[in-house]
Structures are given as structure tokens and as C-alpha cells.
């Protein structure tokens, strides 16, 4: 049992023992969880939310709102449950078993999509759409419950000054595998007719993500020697506003983060814009995916290094700039060749966000509160992002792509301004 000098505070000896265990298991945990992320990304490359899933919806309907609904459900499911999930594991000495339990639901959802496509495509397009969105909702919400638990787990076993390298390496390898997956996805889309091509894609997503699942089992998770005081559900939620009010720097980051999340509105519409405005083929959509993943692969190593050396705030600032460039390019593009640049800029921006949106959060708070801070940050962002992304498709249907892209770019610029001028790098602000 941990020896505590004061309530909720462990002795220096206990913390030293914990850190020694982290270092002893670092190489093992780094390797296994890198492979977990790499194969998860490989599986997801067959069902890219920016390219493949919008194409699937376009095969069934011309209603652009349903394309933006993909991103809306994904953000709603990913963000809203996090604040509840953080409470459920508050004070738990180990989180790995919860990571494994909820992670299994993420994988099963892709199998459900494969089976529903196989059995319903020839029966009813409406039923297939309903089936798809049911399973996609399961995937999205299980991901939301998963994130704060998983990141609390990762923040225990990977030291702060090595997380940039960890996420960069994990994501780089994942994107290399993802490029191969995207090339295979493009070939499958070309060689097999609908719906069989999507049965294969959903099935491969299930296989790839299930392989990733096996690597988590071998991770070694030490017990952190500080436990939060147990709170009732009412006490937990009533304390959250104080958490935001007491730290101006964190509160300003929350504002910037919400504005930066407007990139999801644009990202969810790029492929649909290419199809509607430039008449791109299924094969070209496969190329979009390859370019997106290639750009992300290069970005991960670079942004991981920058995050470790300079802090994650500067990474997010440049990510916002690149997202704005992607939006401007999408507005100005008059041919497919020019439109490829959208996915180059978007890929580098997504890489920046992937590395730093989560990694900056533990630097605002003590280790024992990481899951709560992650839950608060993402749940607040999720409320706004869900409205933002679902509004994107409606804006396109009512006013066109220019209006949706202009709104997204303006909000991104505002988020960049707040981040630049009102948020201090938290690593050096403690």
C-alpha cells in the first residue's frame, strides 16, 4: 500500500518507486503500444472518415447532410461520453482491464458494418443506411468512453518527455501501414463492385483493429501511489466548473480548442466537394486517402519531435495554420491536381492535432487528474463540434461549399489567435 504523507499525497519514496517501475517497463510498453496504434491505424485506413465513408454514403444517397452526419456522430460519440467515462475510472488503481473491455466494442462495430452491408445492400438502401449509422454510432460512443481511460493508462506508462516520440513513432508506423491499406482500399474499390467492395473494406477494418487489440494485453501497468478522494457523482460534476474557473490558462485553451475543432467541418466535406464540384472517380478518392495518410506519416515524426522539444502549444498553432491553408485551397481549386494539395495540408494539420491535442492536456494538471481533464476538455469541445460538423452538410445543401468552408476557416483563424495570444505553454507555466 502506498505511504502517504498527507491525504491524497504519496511520499517521495513511493513516487520514486513508481517512476522506477515505469522506466523498467518503458521499452516493453513503448513497443507493444506502438504496435497497437500502428495496427489500429492500419485497420482504420480501410474506412477513412475523410474519404471512404463519405463515398459509401454517396453510393446510397445524394443528401450531403448524411455525409456530414458521419463526422457529427463521430465527434458526438468521441467527446460527450468522456466526462462520464473519466468519473467511472476515477480512483481506479489500474485502467488496463477497462481499456480492453471498451476497446472490444470498437472492433465489433466494424464487423457489424461488414455483415449489414453484405445482407442489406440488395434488400433496402434505407435499411443499409440505418444499419451503418447504428454500428457507426456504437463505434463512436465506445471510442468516447475509451479515450480518457486509455490516455490515463498511457500517461502512466509513458513519461511526459517521451510522449511526443511515442505518439510520433506509433502514428508514423501506423500511417506507413495505413498507406498500404489505402492503396489496397483503392484497388478494392476499383476491382470489386458495390456493395462487395465495402464488405471487404469493413471486414479488413475489423481484422486490422483486432490485431492491434492483442498487443495491449502484454502492457505492464504500475499502480500510481496517489489516489483521488472519492466523490459522489453529484460532488464530481459540481466540482468541474471550479476546475475551469481556477485556471485562466486552461480556460483560454478550452476556448481556443473549441474554435480549432472547426477543422472537422471542413475535413468531413473535402471528399464530397471533390465528387460534387470536380467529378472525381472512386479511384481518385483512393488517391486522396493515400495522400492524406502519407502527409500524416511524415507529420507525425516531425510534430512528435517538436512537441517533446518545444512543447505542444506551438504544434497546435501550426496545425491551425495548415488547416486554414487546406480550406483556402479547397475553395480555390479548379482541378483535381490542385485539389490534391487539400489533403497534403490537411494531412500535416491532422498530424499536428493527433500529436498534441491530447498530449498538451496532462501538462495542465497533476497525473491523478489526467482522465478528468481529458474528459472535461473533450466533452466541452464535443458539444460544439457535433453542432459544427452536422451544420456543415446543411450549409452545403442550403448555400454551397463556399459558405461552409469560409465559416470553418474563419473560426479556425479565431482559434489560432486565442492560442497565440492568450495561452501560455503549460509545460513552462507550472
pLDDT of residue 397: 84
Residue 225 lies in a domain: no
**Arithmetic mean of pLDDT, 192-197:** 93
pLDDT band at 232 (very low <50, low <70, confident <90, very high): low
pLDDT of residue 367: 66
Residue 85 lies in a domain: yes
Tell me the backbone φ, ψ of residue 427, rounded to 5 degrees.
-60, -30
96 pLDDT exceeds 80? yes
Residue 4 lies in a domain: no
- Closest Cα to residue 292, out of 178, 372, 414, 133? 178
Highest mean pLDDT among 147-156, 299-308, 401-410: 401-410
Domain of residue 377, CATH code: 1.20.1250.20
pLDDT tens-digit readout, 337-394: 889 999 999 999 999 998 898 789 888 877 667 777 877 887 787 777 777 777 887 8
7 pLDDT exceeds 50? no
Cell of 203: 471486414
Q: In sequence order, which residues have a C-beta less than 8 Å from that of residue 234 and are 6 or more positions away? A: none
Cell of 295: 502527409
**Arithmetic mean of pLDDT, 405-419:** 95
pLDDT of residue 347: 92
Residue 227 lies in a domain: no
Cα distances (Å, whole numbers) of residue 85 to 130, 304, 365, 419: 27, 27, 18, 27
Length of the chain: 430
pLDDT of residue 1: 38
Mean pLDDT of the chain: 86
Cα 19 versus chain centre, distance: 28
- Domain of residue 297, residue span: 25-214+233-428
- Closest Cα to residue 113, out of 248, 204, 37, 7? 204
Residue 148 lies in a domain: yes
Residue 347 lies in a domain: yes
Highest mean pLDDT among 55-64, 83-92, 280-289: 55-64
**Arithmetic mean of pLDDT, 75-84:** 81
pLDDT band at 5 (very low <50, low <70, confident <90, very high): very low
- Closest Cα to residue 143, out of 53, 74, 94? 74
Cα distances (Å, whole numbers) of residue 4 to 1, 8, 12, 61: 9, 7, 9, 61
Crossing angle of helices 233-245 and 370-399, rounded to 10°: 80
pLDDT tens-digit readout, 19-36: 788 888 899 999 999 999
- State the Cα–Cα distance between residues 302 and 60, nearest whole angstrom: 39
Q: Structural domain tally of the chain?
A: 1
**Arithmetic mean of pLDDT, 4-16:** 60
pLDDT of residue 90: 67
Tell me the backbone φ, ψ of residue 269, rounded to 5 degrees.
-115, -10
Amino acid at each position: 500500500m502506498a505511504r502517504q504523507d498527507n491525504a491524497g499525497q504519496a511520499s517521495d519514496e513511493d513516487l520514486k518507486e513508481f517512476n522506477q517501475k515505469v522506466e523498467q517497463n518503458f521499452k516493453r510498453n513503448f513497443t507493444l503500444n506502438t504496435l497497437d496504434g500502428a495496427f489500429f491505424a492500419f485497420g482504420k485506413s480501410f474506412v477513412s472518415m475523410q474519404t471512404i465513408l463519405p463515398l459509401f454514403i454517396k453510393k446510397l444517397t445524394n443528401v450531403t447532410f448524411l455525409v456530414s452526419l458521419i463526422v457529427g456522430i463521430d465527434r458526438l460519440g468521441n467527446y460527450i461520453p468522456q466526462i462520464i467515462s473519466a468519473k467511472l475510472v476515477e480512483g481506479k488503481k489500474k485502467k488496463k482491464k477497462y481499456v480492453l473491455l471498451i476497446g472490444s466494442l470498437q472492433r465489433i462495430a466494424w464487423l457489424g458494418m461488414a455483415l449489414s452491408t453484405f445482407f442489406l445492400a440488395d434488400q433496402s438502401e434505407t435499411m443499409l443506411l440505418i444499419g451503418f449509422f447504428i454500428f457507426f454510432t456504437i463505434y463512436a460512443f465506445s471510442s468516447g468512453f475509451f479515450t480518457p481511460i486509455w490516455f490515463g493508462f498511457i500517461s502512466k506508462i509513458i513519461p511526459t518527455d517521451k510522449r511526443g516520440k511515442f505518439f510520433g513513432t506509433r502514428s508514423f508506423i501506423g500511417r506507413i501501414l495505413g498507406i498500404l491499406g489505402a492503396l489496397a482500399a483503392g484497388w478494392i474499390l476499383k476491382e470489386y463492385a458495390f456493395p462487395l467492395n465495402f464488405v471487404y473494406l469493413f471486414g479488413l477494418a475489423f481484422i486490422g483493429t483486432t490485431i492491434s487489440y492483442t498487443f495491449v494485453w502484454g502492457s505492464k501497468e504500475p499502480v500510481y501511489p496517489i489516489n483521488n478522494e472519492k466523490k459522489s457523482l453529484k460532488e464530481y460534476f459540481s466540482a468541474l466548473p471550479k476546475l475551469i474557473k481556477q485556471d485562466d490558462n486552461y480556460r483560454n485553451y478550452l476556448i481556443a480548442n473549441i474554435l480549432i475543432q472547426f477543422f472537422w467541418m471542413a475535413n468531413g466535406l473535402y471528399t464530397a466537394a471533390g465528387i460534387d464540384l470536380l467529378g472525381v472517380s472512386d479511384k481518385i478518392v483512393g488517391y486522396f486517402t493515400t495522400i492524406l495518410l502519407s502527409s500524416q506519416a511524415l507529420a507525425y515524426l516531425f510534430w512528435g519531435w517538436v512537441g517533446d522539444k518545444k512543447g505542444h502549444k506551438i504544434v497546435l498553432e501550426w496545425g491551425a495554420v495548415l488547416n486554414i491553408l487546406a480550406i483556402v485551397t479547397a475553395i480555390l481549386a479548379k482541378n483535381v491536381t490542385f485539389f490534391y494539395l487539400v489533403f497534403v495540408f490537411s494531412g500535416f494539420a491532422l498530424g499536428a492535432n493527433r500529436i498534441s491535442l491530447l498530449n498538451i492536456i496532462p501538462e495542465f494538471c497533476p497525473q491523478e487528474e489526467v482522465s478528468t481533464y481529458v474528459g472535461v476538455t473533450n466533452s466541452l469541445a464535443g458539444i460544439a463540434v457535433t453542432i459544427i460538423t452536422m451544420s456543415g452538410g446543411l450549409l452545403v445543401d442550403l448555400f454551397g461549399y463556399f459558405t461552409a468552408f469560409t465559416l470553418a476557416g474563419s473560426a479556425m483563424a479565431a482559434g489560432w489567435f486565442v492560442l497565440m495570444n492568450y495561452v501560455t505553454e503549460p509545460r513552462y507555466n507550472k
